[in-house]
Structure 1
Amino acid sequence: MKNSATLLLAGTLLLAASPAATAQQKASSPYRTRFAVDAPITLGLGAASGLGLYLVQQKNGLTDAELAGLRKADVPRFDRFSAGNYSKSAQTAGDFLCYGSLVAAPGLLALNEDVRGRYAQVLGLYLQTMLATDAVFTTTVGTVTRYRPYLYGTEGGGSRNSKISTNSFFAGHTAHTATATFFAAKVFHDFNPGSRAEPLVWGAAALMPAAVAYTRIEAGKHFLSDNIVGYVVGATVGVAVPQLHKSAARAGYSLAPLQGINANGYSYSGLLLTKRL
């Protein structure tokens, strides 16, 4: 599942960069960015992420007495199936998928000729998008205490008393992976509207964070609900930030005169406003 998702994303983007696709006229960027506006926003998001990390460092871990008092019955039934899970191999797999996707997503976009022509702009948007997710994630983890699933078992060693053992909500690995993959799919869509590869690109984008979420549950790092929230936050930010930067001409807005005769024989006229997503 892990390898197939990576190969699928790579293969579909390579398909988009094939001679048949690159033979088309080079497209202008669908995005509008301005350094005077986007640089302060990016710096502000970075500052918010730093504040979140500071809040995380101020948290306290559990004492042995508090750990002894944890009961699986206290976990909501929806999440209880994973209480007590612990797997180092699943954690390693999740780290590999997550950190790999953060590099692979912008790297694979460079295979597309149109994107490559505006790559500096795309990378700037990618940084801003990832920092937006990170700001939401760190500030949430820094202010919300939820015990990780493995604390309800007996494994974990010294990490059981660590302050990071209370950082279960929400799933950062899943959120950051979803941001990276959905950003890549959104940018691909905006530069290549109507491409036959789009269903595969979006499918791969959806599959990768789902695979990461599975490893995080198996590793005992997050409950299912933590991963669902992380997935939704990451996917939303990954799509929303590029969409907010779309120029009016490429955002799919169009205004056209409309006239005709209705079923009762009366004529009508007006303006038709449409928007392509």
Structure 2
Amino acid sequence: MKPAYSLLLALTLLTAVPAATAQQAPASPYHTRLGVDGPIILGLGAVNGLGLYLVQQKDGATEAELAALNKNDVPKFDRFAAGNYSTRAQTASDLLCYGSLVVAPGLLALNEPARGRYGQVLGLYLETMATTAAMFTMTVGTVYRLRPFVYGPEGGAKRTSKITTNSFFAGHTAHTATATFFAAKVFHDFNPSSAAQPFVWGAAALVPAAVAYYRMEAGKHFLSDNIVGYAIGTTVGIVVPQLHKSGRRPGYSFSPVQGLNVNGHSYGGLLITKRL
């Protein structure tokens, strides 16, 4: 499927309200609008494209830079990962990460309340993942930090490739956390009284933690890279759906006011009210 058609389908899913089945479909805890969420997704896509362009413009480490590397220059809390290299761990992290991007939203289709609004859920998922992707590509495209494996002799030609400077922050961990915590958040909002809540949130936390472990074993990221990636992914996965909650209005409301006072002078301002 061509990218343009894929994006059009995603935007359609975001705001689709099936008129023919509206009576059967359960009420959604979320509110989405094409006029608001559509431009946001397009904007995030543009930012992501810019980030990818910046990543491509980066240069890898030179032989001279590699020869001058010293593990003792790495902060102590990150030093244990310096020199790690494992293709097996990299494969494991890839499988967990890419698998979670499909499995996490897929599992929501098995939940009856969420399945009734699955088009909207998929649209929200796209917006959520696009948010993390934009943050990740722009950061990696502008921040230079050597990966842990370049501090060791293994890696071959990879040690001087462009990917060597893409250590901060951990994209696999961030995207996995976004996917799993999004799924947990959506499950929670559609099933607030479910007894499965602790298991769902526990799984959401464990999967990206496992990805982070394998990324360190593979020599792709330091501990600090993974902590930042985990925090960003978790935050985005929870906050984006929360921002779309129906009736998610604060106790305060704001409205402009204007008129004439008792002396005949005009006035204008902002009326602030609080619901009790």
Task: Flag whether TM exceeds 0.5 (same fold).
Answer: yes
Whether the aligned pair in 2 keeps the contact of 1:27 and 1:191 (CA below 8 Å) is no
Per-residue deviation at 1:27? 3.3
1:80 match: 79
1:55 partnered with 2:54:
yes
For 2:25 and 2:55, the matched residues in 1 are separated by: 46
For 1:95 and 1:252, the matched residues in 2 are separated by: 39
Structure 1 residue runs of 4 or more that deviate by more than 3 Å after TM superposition: 251-255
1:207 match: 206
2:231 match: 232
Deviation string 1:74-103 (CA, Å, 9 cap, x unpaired) is 100110011000000000000000000000
Q: Provide structure 1 residue ranges, at least 5 long, that are not aligned to the other structure.
A: 1-24, 256-270
2:55 maps to amino acid: V
Per-residue deviation at 1:66? 1.1
Deviation string 1:102-147 (CA, Å, 9 cap, x unpaired) is 0001100000111111000000000000000000000000000000
2:202 maps to amino acid: G
* SS of residue matched to 1:79: helix
For 1:140 and 1:122, the matched residues in 2 are separated by: 27
Calculate the aligned-residue CA RMSD, in Å: 1.7
Aligned sequence identity (%): 74
2:265 match: none
Whether the aligned pair in 2 keeps the contact of 1:86 and 1:150 (CA below 8 Å) is yes
1:162 partnered with 2:161:
yes
1:153 match: 152
Whether the aligned pair in 1 keeps the contact of 2:188 and 2:197 (CA below 8 Å) is yes
* SS of residue matched to 1:201: helix
TM-score, structure 2 normalization: 0.81
For 1:118 and 1:155, the matched residues in 2 are separated by: 49
1:30 match: 29
Q: How many residues align?
A: 232
Matches within 5 A, 1:99-248: 99-248=98-247
For 1:254 and 1:144, the matched residues in 2 are separated by: 40
1:15 match: none
For 2:216 and 2:26, the matched residues in 1 are separated by: 42
Per-residue deviation at 1:254? 8.6
TM-score, structure 1 normalization: 0.81
